[in-house]
Each structure stands twice: as structure tokens, then as C-alpha cells.
Structure 1
Amino acid sequence: MVTGPTLTDLTDRAREIFRLVVEGYIASGQPMGSKALAGSGGVNLSPASIRSVLQELQDAGLLAAPHTSAGRMPTEVGLRLFVDGIMQVAEPTVAERAQIERGLSHGGTIENALAAASSALSELSAGAAVVMVPKREPRLVQINFVPLSPVRALAVLVSEDGGIENRVIDLPEPVGASVLEQAGNYLTSRLQGRTLGEASGVVRAEIAGGRSALDAASTDLVQRGLVVWTQDAAARPVMVVRGQANLLDEAALSDIERVRQLLEELESAEAIARVLDAAREAQATRIFIGSENRLFSLSGSSVIASPWRDSEGRVVGVVGVIGPTRLNYARVVPMVDFTAQTLGRFIGQDGFSRK
């Protein structure tokens, strides 16, 4: 992250003008000139004095002038200083909270709930909203290994909700039908009524402690099966993106190449998942401005993301808003945080199915 001046490095006058420039730019998407600042009533200085302060802020790396005769707009360093030290957050209104909660209060599938939450958040934030949760882990009934060839087997996993999933497992050496049967029976006895994640800990502990009563070939098959299933589930998050059209406002159309780049970046689900994963371990909402995040550095976009937790405090997923660096951070940050809290309260209640 690029560092710059701190608030203590600025005079009161410079700090106030800097705040007005950033707030004006966020509101309009346009650079702020000295005449507009003098006429706003927020600064009791002449345009000439304001221009002098603007130049000082530009020299400090907090502001930039896109054109010679234009006003100033905040740099990424300036936006970071504003967000961390000046911004006063505006908590969501009663109506905004109700809109976020509305789609989650009717039960249904988790996928529908995520879609409702992201749609509400995108509409309220005027950005693209993203909600991600790792692929669900159903409770299991049975696992079988079916021979495909001497060195390949098909693992068939049956869940309580009737779902059946198959994965091919490569084996280092030929195994017989008895080995496949022993491994399948062993895993079925440990998996029943558990998720794969829950069962994996039990199985690995038994194998490590020599308590599995499996021979070497069956042990290897069990371990390979667990690796295939657990890696596969982790690599397939459920993710919903809503509100890409919000990025095409009048201010954005003047910089259509940046918007085109951002829309392309939003097409990469795997890359977005990596971005949101950076917020999973955070205790509060995280803000990535422009080049602070590699994925969106080309489009100069910002990401505001917050983890959401289940009733036991475990991180379940991440919710966020993606948009131009002139996002209304003061309004969107608490909105993302409230959405994360709301998802934590509603998801996992009995009204939601896991299908």
C-alpha cells in the first residue's frame, strides 16, 4: 500500500479543503475547482487562496489535476487518508435496513437468499454487490468406490437430501474389489449423519492414531478420496453478483474504458472469490482502494467487503460492493456491515433449505 501524509501533517485549513474536494468528487464524479469550493460556503477563503492550498495538497500526493485548467480530484492515497481519518459513516436508515432484510425473511433456498441480499445491496449502494459462501456441505449417507480400471476408481457420494456426486480417483497401483469395498464401508460408517468436513477430522485422526483397522491399500484409498472431495468443495464457492448496470452512470460513461475493464474483471468468478477471501479473516469491514487490490487495479475500482458469521461465530461467507473509487464510502461501509450481520442472523435458520 502506498503511504502518504497523515492528518497531523495538514493544517486545519488544508484538512477542510481536502475534505470538501473528496466529498464533492464522490457526490458528482467531477473534479472540484477553487471557484466551486469558494462558492460552497464551507470555506471562507478567496479562490486564489484556495488554489494555493489545492496545489499544496497536490504536491503532497493527496490530490491530482486531470487537466491543466481543471479542478482537483483525490488520488488513491488521498482517498485512503479520507476513509481512515476523516470520513463520518452514515448508518443505514430504517427503510434501508428493511429493504435488506425483506428478501431474507421469507425462507427458501440459500441461493435465493443470497440473490435477494445482493440485489438489495446493489440497489442501495449504486455499485455491484457480491455475496459469496463456500459450497455447501450436505450431511452424508453413503460412499462407494466403483472400479473403472486397475488404477482408477469412481467415488460415489450420497447425501441425506438425495444428492449424488461422483469423482474419479487415480490410484498409484492396482487395487482389487475387496480394497474398494473395505474403504467404502469404512468411510460410510464414519460419514453417516456428518458433513464431509466433520467426518474428515474423525477419519484422519483414526488413521494417524492407528485405530482405523484398514490395511495399507485401503488407507491410501480413503486418504485420496478425502483429498479429492475436500479440495473440490473448497474450490467451488456459491457466488452471486448483482448490479453491474449500476456501474454505467453518467460520470462513468466519460471514462468508458475503465468501466469496460471493470465489467471484464467482474466476469472472473474465481478471481473475485480470491479478492473476497482476503476479507474472510477480518474482524470488521475491509476497504480496498484501486491498486491496493491486484484484480481491480487496472480499472481503478474499490472493494468494500465484510465477512458474515453463523450462530457459532464461524465465518461462513463474505459480502461486498465493487465500484469506482468514488463510491460513497461513508454510506456503503455501514451498509455492507449491516448486510453481513443480517445474513449471519438469517442464513442457517430452519426456514432456509440447503438444496
Structure 2
Amino acid sequence: MYQANKDRYNKMIYRKLGKSGLKLPVLSFGLWQNFGEKNDYETCKEMILTAFDHGITHFDLANNYGPPPGHAEIVFGKILKEALMPYRDEIIISTKAGYRMWDGPYQDGGSRKYLISSLNQSLERMGIPYVDIFYHHRFDHETDMKETMIALRDIVLSGKALYVGLSNYNSEQLKRAHQMLDEMNVPYVITQPSYSMLNRWLEHDNLLQTQNEIGGGTICYSALQQGLLTNKYINDIPVDSRAKNPDSMWFSEKNITDEARAKLMKLDVIAKSRSQSIAQMALAWCLRDERMTSTLISTSKITQLHENLKTLENLTFTNEELQAIEEALK
């Protein structure tokens, strides 16, 4: 029988999630692409339990994670049942709805029907009565925002989610949504944008400041740019890498250009001077502003998880290091 490491909370750093009473670990665990039917269940279980043993208390899912869609929630529900249910009150579970999940005209978006139906299915797959955070996964231009926000309110009132979040919303969209949620006394606490050294749109959008002003926290995904910001692609493309995986979404061999390799070689020099890998430095870089509450990590191997956890050994940057990174990214 699994027994959690008693020293787990001394191994992690936690940041307050906006003005809410929640705290998140600076490294949270995402189950996007590595918990599908083709992934080994025992490896998946080992990664989740190892993460928890190191103080990672936040596990992030969505209805369409797998592949196929829904499978990640099934796997996580099985791990909960077999090992983690005694620790449920120590864990933050989040899931989302917004992208395509099933056939027909109500398969995605922000309609009341889709969001409520999707969450009901997610809870059934995981075998739990509620999630801690339920996100609208993407802004929907075809649905009146008020309908989406009312659906989120009613989900909280039903007891099926404790808090709500908004993912892939820009600053202006967040402001509009938050005004509606605030008027309805809905506990909105978090936004989840993409962000990395190679994807810095939120800086130009001023999203961290916007989110801070409305009282929420921020957690970013794809901090390693689908695995590009690692040491593995400096010289060649490993056979077992995501770039070689035909099921990989949004990342392939085409992303590994000569220009990208040149940047990686420069970043590697800086990372080594910090006694870090490129991946560790990239994760720490995303957390350099404390308004970034947490960054998601998603691993397919236990060795990758241990490497990511070592990021915590050096989260600070000198001005010279930050300038060197800017030069390397030009």
C-alpha cells in the first residue's frame, strides 16, 4: 500500500494563488500527452506518486487529454483510487473543457450544455464528486460570454468545482470575464496561458499585470516549448523523442531548425554556468516573476521528472544572466 513521503512538503516551494486562500507548488504536474492508451500505466503511476512525494500537490487535466480524449482522466482516476484517495484533501485537481471532445454540434466551445456535460463526464472518468478548479479551456467567439460565465457560476453552486479558471484568454477577455464573475460572486482564481522563452506573447499583452490586478494567479503551460527547450535536440533528434512521435501534437522534426539549434547551444552555455540543464533553466526563467504562481511540467519518463524537480535548487537569476539569455534568444 502506498504511503506518501512524510517530508514531501519540505521539498517544494509554494506560492499564493492571487488573493485566494490557495497555494500552488511552483511546479505543477500536467497530464496532457503522456497519459494515453499507448503509455505504460505503471510508469504513469510512478510519475504521479513521485511528484506527490516531492510536494507537487496540483495535478492538471482536461477533458481531451490522452490520447485518446478522456484517457488521461481515466488513468488519473485509477491512480487516485489505488493510492492517492486518502490524500485527496491535500491535492488540487483541475480539469477543463473548451476544445473538441465528441461528435455533433455541442462538441466544444463555451455553451452551457457543453461545459456542464463535459464536467459531468470528467468527474465520472476520475471517480470523484468534484474538482478543485474547473477551467473554460479557450475563449469562444461564437458563444455569448455571459452564457459561459453563468455556466461556470452554476457549476460552482452545484458543488462540482470549488473554483473556476480561464485558460487561453488574453488580457481584455480576462477583464470582461472577471467583471461578470465578480458580479455573480464566483470564485475565479487562475488563468493558464502558454509561455516560454520562445513564446512570450503574454509579456506584450501585459497578462501577468492584468491578472494580478483582478486578484488571480497565473500558471503557464509549454514552458519547455513542447520539449524543444532541452538538451536533447542540440546535436540530433533521439528516436524516442516527442519530435519523432507521430501522435505528438504541435511539435515535430520541423520545429528543430538550424536557428533553433543555434539558440539552444547558446542557452546551454548559460545553463551550465548555473549548474543547470536547459530545461531546468527554462522552467526557472518562467518563474522569475513571482506573479507567475506555477509552471506546469509534463514528463513521459521518471528521469525527466527528477530532472525537472532539480529546478528548485536555483530559481534566481542575476541581471547579467537575464541579459545573456535575451542575447541568446535573438
TM range (shorter): under 0.3
TM-score with structure 2 length normalisation? 0.23
Higher relative contact order (CA 8 A, sep 6+): 1
Higher normalized strand content (fraction of residues): 1
Larger Rg: 1
